Amino acid sequence: MDEEKLNIPNAQSAAPQDKDGRNMELYLYSLRKMAEHNVESNRTFMTGLYNLRAFQYKGAEVMRENPDLKYAMILMDLANFKTVNEFCGRSAGDELLKWIASAFRSYERELVVVSHFRADIFAMLTPFEKEEELVAIVKQISKKIADFKIACKVLPAFGICIATDPFMPVSYMRDYASLAMNTIKGKFYCNYAFFDDNMRKQMLLEKQIENDIVEALETGQFRVYIQPKVNMETGEIIDGEALVRWYHPEKGVIGPNEFIPVLEKNGFIINVDVYVWTEVFRYIGERLEKGEKVVPISINISRLHVYDDSFKECLVRLKDEYHVPPCYVPLELTESGFVKTADLMYQNIKDLKKHGFLLSMDDFGTGYSSMAMLRTQPVDEIKIDKGFIDDMNNPKSRIVVSNTINMLRELNVEVIVEGVEDKEQQDFLVECGCKRAQGFYYYKPMPMEDFFRLLQ
């Protein structure tokens, strides 16, 4: 097709021409000046640096007009800027931002574009030859920030993305640099990270999971698995824990370590949890109605459910709908779920306990627990993390495990140890007075149907 058929005006018709073409030159010149004026007018008021819109436009222009160079974006964010404003005052926070802006501005030159996106987020697009040059920039800006006199500790984090080609969208570079930055944000021992192939693969995997999750829920790709818990003295199965597996029609089985962190990020873990809960209540209810053998099956409660007003009502509705006594479905919650949303979670759990539900604290000993919580909160069972028993050859580890079990027994809390993998661990735990365990030494997770057949 030619331009006339597509109804696209050519340059000659877009601006009147004289014989020398001077009108065309003036027209193009005026367009360029208008664009430059728009870019210059889009600067952040406080620091005078380009805002996000102008930065992306100017950065793309620099890369496009100088395609023979290599480019990188350096993105910076502060780990605790809200603390600075709260404890040192907003005026001190503003002065800090101006100080950081001056550090970035010191690198501003013809092919280097710097920006103050918003709040405490700054960026730089710069040509380079070796990665060491980018690290040197990060270290110099970090040193400059450290020189700022302020009572609060300031921890800058930098993410660096190297452009794959001169036409790579600046917005993509920003996103990738942000991903790299978030891997080290708040870590005092490391303040920069490069976006690499591993991050790219993880990003693509997470995006694919997000795209597939709705269809997976609608078409029954998720399946409930149960890992039995046993009495170590008798070998009898005393209860189980409900887990989930994803049977993807193309990728096969996707492990929970791959998809659950993604679902926790995008909130779909709530949908998957409710699916698992429903299946557990339904299956137990059907077996009770038939008079078949049943043992308690614990279900996991994501900390995201704390922000979901309907999660308590959902559990109460399921127990009533399927006529399942709540003692058959204990609730497992990780220690981090208690601490990060303590007050709200405590109230929700207390409400559910009034309906007869039991509470099990998972991953005890992984770094979040509080002795005060054990003293004051309504915990029925503690699951000791497998990390406690991984080093049984260490005498100190044995002392910690033995005394932890004794303490919990004296508090009249049921104790179960997860991750038991050999007879030596089992014998030591029994010697310590612990009877209940879960781990590959006994059973791996299995489909729910297989679990209940095993009970027979």
Mean pLDDT score of the chain, rounded to an integer?
Answer: 85
Closest CA to 284 of 244, 229, 245, 239: 239
Q: What would the mean pLDDT of 325-331 be, rounded to a whole number?
A: 95
Q: What would the mean pLDDT of 286-308 be, rounded to a whole number?
A: 88
Q: Classify domain 44-195 at the CATH topology level.
A: Alpha-Beta Plaits (3.30.70)
pLDDT bracket for residue 428 (50, 70, 90): very high
Give every CB contact of residue 110 below 8 A, 6+ residues apart in sequence. Answer: none
CATH class of 209-455: alpha beta
Q: Which two tokens stand for residue 321?
A: 């709908």
Give every CB contact of residue 230 below 8 A, 6+ residues apart in sequence. Answer: 236, 237, 238, 436, 437, 438, 442, 443
Place of tokens 């793309």: 60
Question: For residues 275, 280, 282 and 283, what is the CA-based torsion angle, rounded to 10 degrees?
Answer: 130
* CA–CA gap between residue 114 and residue 51 (Å, rounded): 9
Q: What are the domain boundaries of the chain?
A: 44-195, 209-455
Q: Which two tokens stand for residue 171?
A: 């917005």
Q: How far is CA 226 from CA 163, 276, 330, 360, 451, in A?
A: 46, 11, 14, 16, 6
Please tell me the least confidently modeled range out of 28-37, 133-142, 269-278, 345-354: 28-37
Give the pLDDT confidence score for residue 19 in this predicted structure: 47
* CA–CA gap between residue 436 and residue 229 (Å, rounded): 7
pTM: 0.71
Give the pLDDT confidence score for residue 318 in this predicted structure: 97
* CA–CA gap between residue 11 and residue 17 (Å, rounded): 10
- Give pLDDT tens digits for 163-204: 999 899 999 999 999 999 988 887 777 899 999 988 888 888
* CA–CA gap between residue 352 and residue 319 (Å, rounded): 11
- Give pLDDT tens digits for 256-290: 888 888 888 888 888 999 999 999 999 999 999 99
Q: Which two tokens stand for residue 233?
A: 């003295």
Supply φ then ψ for residue 194, to 5 degrees.
Answer: -90, 140
Give every CB contact of residue 431 below 8 A, 6+ residues apart in sequence. Answer: none
- Give pLDDT tens digits for 2-24: 333 334 344 344 444 454 555 55
Q: Chain centroid to CA 317: how far?
A: 30
Question: For residues 375, 377, 383 and 388, what is the CA-based torsion angle, rounded to 10 degrees?
Answer: -40
Q: What would the mean pLDDT of 305-314 be, rounded to a whole number?
A: 79
Residue 299 pairs in a beta bridge with 331
Give the pLDDT confidence score for residue 193 in this predicted structure: 94
Supply φ then ψ for residue 378, to 5 degrees.
Answer: -85, 65
- Give pLDDT tens digits for 53-108: 889 988 999 999 999 999 999 999 998 788 887 888 888 889 999 999 999 999 99
Give the pLDDT confidence score for residue 390 in this predicted structure: 85
Residue 231 pairs in a beta bridge with 436
Say what percent of the chain tops pLDDT 90: 49
pLDDT bracket for residue 394 (50, 70, 90): confident
Number of Cβ within 10 Å of residue 79's Cβ equals 18
pLDDT beyond 90 at 229: yes
